[in-house]
Structure 1
Amino acid sequence: MKDLTRYRNIGIFAHVDAGKTTTTERILKLTGKIHKIGEVHEGAATTDFMEQEQERGITIQSAATTCFWNDHQLNIIDTPGHVDFTIEVYRSLKVLDGGIGVFCASGGVEPQSETNWRYANDSEVARIIYINKLDRTGADYYRVVKQVETVLAAKPLVMVLPIGVEEKFSGVVDLLTRKAWVWDNSGDPMNYEIQDVPADMKDDVETYREQLIELAVEQDDTLMEKYLEGEELSIEEIQRCIRKGTRDLAFFPTYCGSSFKNKGVQLVLNAVVDYLPNPMEVKPQPEVDLEGQLTGTFAVVDSEKPLRALAFKIMDDRFGALTFTRLYSGKLSKGDTILNTATGKTERISRLVEMHANSREEIDSAQAGDIIAIVGMKNVQTGHTLCDPKNPATLEPMVFPDPVISISVKPKVKGGDEKMAMALIKMVQEDPSFHMVTDEESGETILKGMGELHLDIKVDILKRTHGIEVEVGKPQVAYRESITKRLEDSYTHKKQSGGSGQYGKIDYIIEPGEPTSGFQFESKVVGGAVPREYWTSVEKGFESSIGKGVLAGFPCVDLKFTLTGGGFHPVDSSAIAFEIAAKAAYRQTIPKAGPQLLEPIMNVDVFTPDDYMGDVIGDLNRRRGMMRSQETSAMGARIKADVPLSEMFGYIGDLRTMTSGRGQFSMSFSHYAPCPSNVAEEVIKEAKERQAAA
């Protein structure tokens, strides 16, 4: 039996280019997992093993690895920072017990840092903060600490102070022990000395140490009393308080360093062991029933309990399909039969592996608290629960956002449709935010994703991994349709063709629902005008119709249908007759209910040097953007705006041109809003032309 108190399941997350992957490399080197450090900028990082990652210097898919530090097992997931791949962060945080939030000392709290922090808050994941790149020009540890408070509304617990800054950064002072860790410039993380605090820092060290202790002892009334009475607390007592406060999300221990220069990472590793929770110290996973409602029971982390595991990532590689799985309770061994509650099917486990990026070690069994991969499972998707067939249960599932952008693709080689379809099916299984549909009218294959880069990478994977070159159509926006008026109407479906006929009459109200309310149906029929057994048929008829609006064929959203009355025939009425009546009623009434086109509006967060701020704002205004806020700092200006997605294609190129290559932006879906009439007319015209061509 493994000692679960010595387990740490952690993730590393941050904004693009804050140094997550470089930090992971340093951790692997320090823990003896790798012997040569691979650099991201050279395309040689261990956890960036996809060709697309190595070329672009960004992380695209989360990578899992296991290592050991101070007799503790660390299961680490390095996640992407780019906004198009936040799905990877979300699903990783869902199965982790703790995290390291990495921030750039010069860039500070950047757009994607906020999104990731929000995900971590939603998942109630305990975190420590690591402010990286202290050696960079413009680095300012204290400014970033302040930003964590103001931008993230979080409470940083300052654990170290930097010695020097920018090119003079040489180490850190550990406030608890009042000792300075100083590295030489050899680049070897083991070449450091523990020294006394530099004389010019003693006052600052005492001030910050006092603040640290005051914040920490709030977690323990007895120790707080002792401290207020002037007694000196032991380091172990303070650490006990810090551990409790970190676990309860009361504050976030904050460290700094330079991963690239190999300075400061040991203290972060010590903090992972000292302050982040083990699997038994986090809230157990809630279980749900078949309708997705909470049952009030939980998967308690205990290897003696029945098996409860969550598949959080599917990856296909040269060895076959890998299902990354977090075990919450019970044990799993080779040869076991498990039940997938989502499909109702059982499968036999043939191989289990412990992952190290894209290499793996075969293992015979795993237990509660482990993160492992199962080889060769069929019909498993992200978010499925794997459990003991004799004790079935479903864990709370993951919820993924809908894609907002689509492109059409067709193979360049004649007859390559089947090969492309097989490859795309695998890719859809791996990434729940990536969808593939076939347009019924044109027969085109449509790929849907979270942004231009997301789809660009998918096309690249098709080409390199699967050897399929495709022609790509221009990006299409995922418009929606809705209505603006409330209408009462009636429809009668009557068909007589020899033998028994079809008859169904419905009186109904169609009205706009609240934003994001989706499809709603209610029956207010009294007196049996429409028998109860036909109500679900009417609901089914309406619900199956909303996938196609009357303006341009886009899905119709936020509609409420109320069945108020109607009529039936004792012989000719049937479920199918009422379903057909509802479908025809939809086509009859929606055109009269003030239909309108809705467009996706994006949260756009732009960083630009001050000199270009006017140009950037002017450009966003031309793109129909609504400014939400603008802030200036020592590093430049940050502009937040709501901008229609249709106006954002190719924006990165324009931004780089405007800002001499120094601007950055991130974009995430915000909401749907009505299209201006001139834009709507153009979109409807294009949609009709496409339909006619098909």
Structure 2
Amino acid sequence: MVLVGHSGAGKTTLVEALALASGAVTRAGRVEDGGTLSDHDEIEHRQHRSVQLSLVPIGWDGIRVNVLDTPGYADFVGELRAGLRAADAALFVVSAADGVDGATRLVWDECAAVGMPRALVVTHLDAARADFDTMVADCRRVFGGDDPDAVVPLYLPAYGARRPDGSAPVTGLLGLLSKRLFDYTGGERCEREPGAEQAAAAEEARGRLIEAIIAQSEDESLMDAYLDGAECDTKTLVQDLEKAVSRGVFHPVLAAAPAADGGTQGLGTVELLELISGGFPTPQERPIPEVTSPQGAPRPALACDPAGPLAAEVVKTSSDLYVGRVSLVRVFSGTLRPDETVHVSGHGLADRGHEDHDVDERIGALSAPFGKQQRPLDKAIAGDLACVAKLGRAETGDTLSAKDEPLLMAPWAMPDPLLPVAIEAHAKADEDKLSQGLARLVAEDPTMRLEQNPDTRQLVLWCLGEAHRDVALERLRSRYGVRVDTVEHRVSLRETFAAKATGRGRHVKQSGGHGQYAICEITVEPLPEGSGIEFVDEVVGGAVPRQFIPSVEKGVRTQAAKGVAAGYPLVDVRVTLSDGKAHSVDSSDAAFQTAGALALRECASGTRMHLLEPVAEVEVTVAEDYVGAVMSDLSGRRGKVLGTEQAPSGDTRVRARIPEIEISRYPLDLRSMSHGTGRFSRAYVRHEPMPQQLAAKLLEREAAAEAGR
């Protein structure tokens, strides 16, 4: 089961409360033999928020439940997607103090698309102005879609004496099916009869719940009995509820809070554990992702069977100071055992710096994580999650299978990193370790892309946002001992001629002995976009000997690659060699290369040049409420809006073309503009002339930066 919700909703606190109520820990957040559940990473301690996927195994009613706690901040959506892939059901945590955010709604829609069972839990009911009924109404509106009756509470909160400010603490829960009151006042669950007023208030809600269970479970016999006015059997209602939840069509709402007064059972924790262990599906009830051979040949569908072919997937990769690389693996089929040789296949993200794998590897020990500890396992069977040591080649998203029957699982969707961060080694010692540190960092995080830009000669780390960037750079420093500095990201600009120009290159030197003599005259004229560099020989009468014409061309092309005006590659011109002079003794290949370069630079000095900037086509998907702001913002960035269309999700998709220099920070600005719900993609289209005024400012800024180095 995976916990989903925005940052600050209380997911980690809820995990600790469930572990305490189940007996997995002896006191809040503490494991039996030391350590805590939530201190996996020192970065999480400093930032006071989760930045990575964590696993907490607990047990209830003889059933083992793997609870996956995911970060709520949008920059770490890769960890969330990994959690969704590894889980069979999702528990959405919503805060009564903050309401439902748009990003959580998007994740709900993703789960709905694959039929993942979902339930909701409301936290922070003790906050000022928090109201359970209002929160349920919001959940029905946001998550109910075409059928809001599928989102209904199983319990109603019971309140204690009112405080001086008029609010009242939630002290217990009234079960709508059992008609029993579960009192948590003393930190332990006590069951008793509700008062007459409480029972009467819950009767209407109970009727709505029963009708929703009957409708979603499609139990016709129960429907007939209910319509005839007969009392519905509670046991049958619970069975139908569990069936509807498991099918992913019924979404119960519960409330939860940590234990008070030193107790071990927080409000709603027992009810949640009962729903998770009884209402959520087992791994055998959920479909397994499609598998093929590593070469793409189809393979029969797999079942969650410990005796079946081995098919496991790396859902998270991390590094341990003493153990080395540790892979969190979900076993979908078969049984994984320590010290066996497996086949590693993956994973189609070569464009992000993740090379494809098709190798055999011997795995190390298996363990179950619990806080900072690793508890040894003798095997991991289908449906289980385990940590695997010493998988040196496997990365997040890779498939582990039997070496004599290699398989490849269909990858899960990963967001594109769209925030560029240019970095440089802080010192010589860091430069020596930078390559290895970055390789290990990228291996852990498939949402990150590493680029060595050949045009700008910058090392660029593409991230999902500022928080993602900060965590990546901090991990480089603290985990791999590499310090880096961030520098301004540069886009790949080009140069071209705005008009026809002529130039003469004269390279004549005599310093005793063998001299250098080469003169050439060229004409440069602009060509249509995409033409590259075209070289034409129009020399007559042997003014430039035939053996030196390729030398002139080589000099021209070498200089074009370096740039002739602002230091950017020259493109889309025709260079015509028309005349020249040579010496029978002093002319050489090197001399004519130099003359060709000099001639090209002279052409540039005598005419107007265009600075070309890359233009991208972007697709921005936002809710209708934000379309106007997005279109206005794009226009303000020198963008040209091409049109809008309705997206399948019901949102609006805005298409525009915009200079790439204007969207370096667009992921951050769009998130702010759309309250975290907007998303966009970009694709390079072509280079276009930059306005002269902007080009002049850019060149001045770069010259100042270069002078300050």
Compute the TM-score of the two structures, normalised by the length of structure 1: 0.70
The answer as to 2:91 corresponding to 1:120 is no
Tell me the residue number matched to 2:128.
Answer: 137
| Pairing partner for 1:193 from 190, 215, 228 | 190
Cα deviation for residue 679 of structure 1 reads: 8.5
CA distance in 1, matches of 2:491, 2:29: 39
Tell me the residue number matched to 1:240.
Answer: 239
CA distance in 2, matches of 1:116, 1:390: 37
Instruction: State the Cα RMSD in Å.
Output: 4.4
Cα deviations across residues 218-242 of structure 1 (Å, max 9, x unaligned)?
Answer: 3222222233233323222111111
Tell me the residue number matched to 2:52.
Answer: 61
Tell me the residue number matched to 1:285.
Answer: 289
The answer as to 2:157 corresponding to 1:162 is yes
CA distance in 2, matches of 1:21, 1:302: 31
The answer as to 2:315 corresponding to 1:312 is yes
The answer as to 2:82 corresponding to 1:87 is no
CA distance in 1, matches of 2:36, 2:117: 26
The answer as to 2:389 corresponding to 1:375 is yes
CA distance in 1, matches of 2:244, 2:493: 45
Cα deviation for residue 18 of structure 1 reads: 0.6
Does the aligned pair in 1 maintain the 2:36–2:371 contact within 8 Å?
Answer: no
Tell me the residue number matched to 1:400.
Answer: 414
Tell me the residue number matched to 1:225.
Answer: 224
Does the aligned pair in 2 maintain the 1:12–1:20 contact within 8 Å?
Answer: yes
Tell me the residue number matched to 1:297.
Answer: 300
Does the aligned pair in 2 maintain the 1:239–1:274 contact within 8 Å?
Answer: no
Larger radius of gyration: 2
Code of the aligned partner of 2:279: Y
CA distance in 2, matches of 1:173, 1:389: 54
> 1:685–1:291: structure 2 CA closer, same or farther, 3 Å change rule?
farther
CA distance in 2, matches of 1:119, 1:106: 25
> 1:242–1:679: structure 2 CA closer, same or farther, 3 Å change rule?
farther
Cα deviation for residue 290 of structure 1 reads: 4.5
SS at match of 1:226: helix
Tell me the residue number matched to 1:354.
Answer: 368
Bigger shift: 273-282 or 149-158? 149-158
SS at match of 2:417: coil
Code of the aligned partner of 2:176: L
Cα deviation for residue 120 of structure 1 reads: 2.2
SS at match of 2:481: coil
Does the aligned pair in 2 maintain the 1:604–1:666 contact within 8 Å?
Answer: no
Code of the aligned partner of 1:163: A
Bigger shift: 227-236 or 367-376? 227-236
CA distance in 1, matches of 2:492, 2:88: 35
Does the aligned pair in 2 maintain the 1:327–1:369 contact within 8 Å?
Answer: yes
Cα deviations across residues 566-625 of structure 1 (Å, max 9, x unaligned)?
Answer: xxxxxxxxxxxxxxxxxxxxxxxxxx9x99712657668999xxxxxxx99999998899
Structure 2: any 5+ residue segments left out of the alignment? 161-166, 261-265, 347-356, 495-527, 538-545, 547-566, 570-609, 645-652, 657-661
Cα deviation for residue 665 of structure 1 reads: 4.4
Does the aligned pair in 1 maintain the 2:157–2:172 contact within 8 Å?
Answer: yes
CA distance in 1, matches of 2:47, 2:309: 44
Does the aligned pair in 2 maintain the 1:129–1:254 contact within 8 Å?
Answer: yes
> 1:167–1:422: structure 2 CA closer, same or farther, 3 Å change rule?
farther
Tell me the residue number matched to 1:562.
Answer: none
The answer as to 2:274 corresponding to 1:256 is no
Cα deviation for residue 58 of structure 1 reads: 1.1
| Pairing partner for 2:213 from 206, 216, 241 | 216
Does the aligned pair in 2 maintain the 1:160–1:173 contact within 8 Å?
Answer: yes
> 1:675–1:684: structure 2 CA closer, same or farther, 3 Å change rule?
farther
> 1:597–1:645: structure 2 CA closer, same or farther, 3 Å change rule?
closer
SS at match of 2:676: strand
Cα deviation for residue 64 of structure 1 reads: 1.0
CA distance in 2, matches of 1:265, 1:327: 28
Does the aligned pair in 1 maintain the 2:465–2:668 contact within 8 Å?
Answer: no
The answer as to 2:182 corresponding to 1:178 is no
Cα deviations across residues 614-668 of structure 1 (Å, max 9, x unaligned)?
Answer: x999999988999x9xxxxxxxxxxx9999855658869x98xxxxxxx994365
Tell me the residue number matched to 2:540.
Answer: none
> 1:478–1:602: structure 2 CA closer, same or farther, 3 Å change rule?
farther
Structure 1: any 5+ residue segments left out of the alignment? 1-9, 481-486, 499-550, 554-591, 608-614, 629-639, 656-662
| Pairing partner for 1:472 from 467, 486, 492 | 486
SS at match of 1:344: strand
CA distance in 1, matches of 2:272, 2:617: 44
Cα deviation for residue 126 of structure 1 reads: 0.8
Listed as ranges, the matches of 1:482-561 within 5 Å are none
Tell me the residue number matched to 2:380.
Answer: 366
CA distance in 2, matches of 1:69, 1:441: 58
The answer as to 2:326 corresponding to 1:322 is yes
> 1:292–1:679: structure 2 CA closer, same or farther, 3 Å change rule?
farther
Does the aligned pair in 2 maintain the 1:552–1:684 contact within 8 Å?
Answer: no
Cα deviation for residue 180 of structure 1 reads: 1.2
The answer as to 2:598 corresponding to 1:597 is no
SS at match of 1:151: helix
Does the aligned pair in 1 maintain the 2:619–2:681 contact within 8 Å?
Answer: yes
SS at match of 2:270: helix
CA distance in 1, matches of 2:109, 2:696: 40
Cα deviation for residue 202 of structure 1 reads: 2.0
Does the aligned pair in 1 maintain the 2:456–2:490 contact within 8 Å?
Answer: no
Does the aligned pair in 2 maintain the 1:600–1:669 contact within 8 Å?
Answer: no
Bigger shift: 86-95 or 683-692? 683-692
> 1:226–1:53: structure 2 CA closer, same or farther, 3 Å change rule?
same
Listed as ranges, the matches of 1:423-438 within 5 Å are 423-438=437-452
Does the aligned pair in 1 maintain the 2:314–2:396 contact within 8 Å?
Answer: yes
Cα deviations across residues 376-400 of structure 1 (Å, max 9, x unaligned)?
Answer: 1021122211111222322211232
Cα deviation for residue 161 of structure 1 reads: 0.7
Cα deviation for residue 249 of structure 1 reads: 1.6
> 1:423–1:75: structure 2 CA closer, same or farther, 3 Å change rule?
same
SS at match of 1:321: strand
> 1:596–1:444: structure 2 CA closer, same or farther, 3 Å change rule?
closer
Bigger shift: 27-36 or 471-480? 471-480
What percent identity do the matched residue pairs reach?
Answer: 23
The answer as to 2:43 corresponding to 1:33 is no
Does the aligned pair in 2 maintain the 1:16–1:82 contact within 8 Å?
Answer: yes
Listed as ranges, the matches of 1:621-636 within 5 Å are none
> 1:595–1:619: structure 2 CA closer, same or farther, 3 Å change rule?
closer
Cα deviations across residues 472-512 of structure 1 (Å, max 9, x unaligned)?
Answer: 113678999xxxxxx9999999999x9xxxxxxxxxxxxxx
CA distance in 1, matches of 2:63, 2:492: 47
CA distance in 2, matches of 1:130, 1:201: 22
SS at match of 1:302: coil
